Structure 1
Amino acid sequence: MQFCGHPILSSKDIWALLNLCHEASQSILAHYNDAASAGLLRSKEDRTPLTQADLESHEILSAGLRALRPEIPVLSEECSESEIAGRHEWDVFWMVDPLDGTREFLERTGEFTINIALIEKQRPTLGLIYMPMSETGSLGVVGEGAWQVQRDSGIWQSQPLSTRRLPEESLVVLASKRHSNPRLDSCLSFLGSKRELSRLNSGSALKFCDLAAGRGDCYPRFSLCSEWDVAAGDALVAAAGGAIYGLDGEPLQYNARDNLLSPHFVAVGDGSASLWSDLLQCLS
């Protein structure tokens, strides 16, 4: 299969991204499988955990992305302030989370990912969420399509991904038990009053992958997260046929504020369903 149609990246570039994620994932798994190096290195200023696996993945991905396209800057979770000092001047850049789900990594659930997005004019046009444990990636190119890509004996195999239409009588909400809060409770209460409701829990960016694959209908997020947690999933869901709305009903903008915290959002598989506008009105 050839990936084509992206205005900046060639099909060769996209295959190179997959190989780069695989390389970084091997470093992550080496630490994951070694009890002596899989623990907490330190807590960052925002109290989120940092491990040696985060740092090594960051170094591999940053170097690989700069080698791939030297003209495109890299904004990674583990970049220093000096490295991204001019970020507001970037029209095009990579947004990277080298290890999304560090708590899942530390708790050995296996539910952690590598997230890479290409941002153009404050919107993601490509998103790749790579799952080291299964050597599987979910890739979306906005305007072209989305695919699940699996590494098998060193060869990449792919199949298309698509969100599903909202069922008439029921829906599946994708939400982590870690992120329970009053607004999420209100969201679930509203949706439960409209449909028979079931909940699928998973860690890190895997909820975006489930949404893009048609395994769920809605992923509401009302707890603290950063733009690198969301950008790749935003592009993936949009490419698969869904949408992500801020609580104002508008698409999310990236690198548009003084900080890099993500606004609260609702990601949906069937963007045409009127239920979502009713939900956003309820939450406003």
Structure 2
Amino acid sequence: MSNNTSITALIDLSRKAGDVIMDIYRNDFAVQHKDDRSPLTEADLSAHRIIAKGLAALAPDIPLISEEAELAPFAARQSWKRYWLVDPLDGTREFVKRNDEFTVNIALIEQGVATMGVVYAPALDVCYFADSSGAWKQEGDAPACRIQARPMNLEHITIAVSRSHIGHKTQSLINNVSQRHCLPEVISLGSSLKICLIAEGRADLYLRLGLTSEWDTAAGQCVLEQAGGHLVDRHGLRLQYNLKDTILNPEFFACGTTLHDWNQYLD
């Protein structure tokens, strides 16, 4: 199956999951909590079932890691050359708050790198996707448009921040950027949409200095990198996947085409 066929199939699958998510979103739904106190809804579970079934039909030989499935032991995962990495509903907090800023994230990981990725926001009907041909954005039924991250201009900086997780380190960075360069524009947004905002050249930086999991970033990282941007850890190293026994990511920066030492702005 060619990459073009595959990315089209992933987009279709993300939209099917999005349809089910929206059916639940438009009605009353119960909210449970996992052991880490993160919220869980029937939308998370229903989207997982649709995606898992669809991926199994699409490529039965490729294993799956999903936020809503039991994680295979690292000893088994070490042998995987490629696998699907999925967050069926990224931004469940935003879903619960009904602010529309949640996404379906599907990525193909090969040798630790996301080589295909789809980030679909069903409430907004916006789809970002990427493979070796580049990064693209589609709004509704309009034709997809190629997107490109932008270079850094220290006199005009836009910082994307989490709507649910902004902390004192992020605020410290904003304050220090203001003192050294300019008063940055700050955009609060949920889920992987922050990374995609950088991929389409509408923001310059998103830093995440709290806990995330690999399924939170993989699809967005693929879109960002194919758009010319970077997603790196605090040492400037590209985030890679399935290389350690934990599914947790290190702290990271997502930025446009210019790699800049953002650590110097953190108190």
> What's the TM-score once normalised by structure 2's chain length?
0.93
Match of 1:147 in 2: 136
Cα separation, 2, equivalents of 1:9 and 1:191: 44
1:9 is displaced (CA, Å) by 4.3
Matched, 1:205 2:185: no
CA spacing shift, 1:90–1:60, aligned 2, 3 Å: same
Letter in 2 for 1:25: G
Cα separation, 1, equivalents of 2:74 and 2:38: 20
For the Cα contact (< 8 Å) 2:125–2:140, is it kept in 1? yes
Give the root-mean-square deviation of aligned CA atoms. 1.9
For the Cα contact (< 8 Å) 2:177–2:265, is it kept in 1? no
Alignment of 1:233-248 (within 5 A): 233-248=220-235
**Equivalent residue in structure 2 for 1:181, among 167, 183, 188:** 167
Cα separation, 1, equivalents of 2:133 and 2:174: 32
**Equivalent residue in structure 2 for 1:97, among 87, 91, 95:** 87
Alignment length, in residue pairs? 266
Find the residue that maps to 2:138 and give its secondary structure: strand
Structure 2 stretches of 5 or more lacking a match? none
Letter in 2 for 1:39: A
Matched, 1:66 2:53: no
1:197 is displaced (CA, Å) by 1.0
Letter in 1 for 2:139: Q
Cα separation, 1, equivalents of 2:13 and 2:26: 20
Q: What's the CA shift string for 1:121-174, capped at 9, x where partnerless?
A: 111112210011132210122x4311012342xxx7211111112225110000
Cα separation, 2, equivalents of 1:84 and 1:39: 33
For the Cα contact (< 8 Å) 1:226–1:260, is it kept in 2? yes
Higher relative contact order (CA 8 A, sep 6+): 2
**Equivalent residue in structure 2 for 1:164, among 115, 137, 150:** 150
Find the residue that maps to 2:217 and give its secondary structure: helix
Cα separation, 2, equivalents of 1:199 and 1:82: 39
For the Cα contact (< 8 Å) 1:119–1:254, is it kept in 2? yes
Matched, 1:191 2:181: no
> What's the TM-score once normalised by structure 1's chain length?
0.88
Match of 1:39 in 2: 30
Letter in 2 for 1:149: Q
Cα separation, 2, equivalents of 1:283 and 1:249: 15
Match of 1:15 in 2: 8
Aligned-pair identity (%): 38
Cα separation, 1, equivalents of 2:75 and 2:101: 32
Stretches of 4+ aligned residues off by more than 3 angstroms: 81-85, 281-284
Alignment of 1:109-120 (within 5 A): 109-120=99-110
For the Cα contact (< 8 Å) 2:207–2:253, is it kept in 1? yes
Letter in 2 for 1:98: P
Cα separation, 1, equivalents of 2:230 and 2:96: 31
Structure 1 stretches of 5 or more lacking a match? 1-7
Letter in 1 for 2:30: G
1:87 is displaced (CA, Å) by 1.9
Match of 1:26 in 2: 19
Find the residue that maps to 1:167 and give its secondary structure: coil
Find the residue that maps to 1:30 and give its secondary structure: helix
1:32 is displaced (CA, Å) by 0.4
Find the residue that maps to 2:184 and give its secondary structure: strand
Cα separation, 2, equivalents of 1:12 and 1:68: 10
Match of 1:5 in 2: none
Matched, 1:53 2:43: yes
CA spacing shift, 1:226–1:66, aligned 2, 3 Å: same
Letter in 2 for 1:30: D
Letter in 2 for 1:12: T
Cα separation, 2, equivalents of 1:92 and 1:72: 7
Match of 1:4 in 2: none
Match of 1:3 in 2: none
For the Cα contact (< 8 Å) 2:20–2:43, is it kept in 1? yes
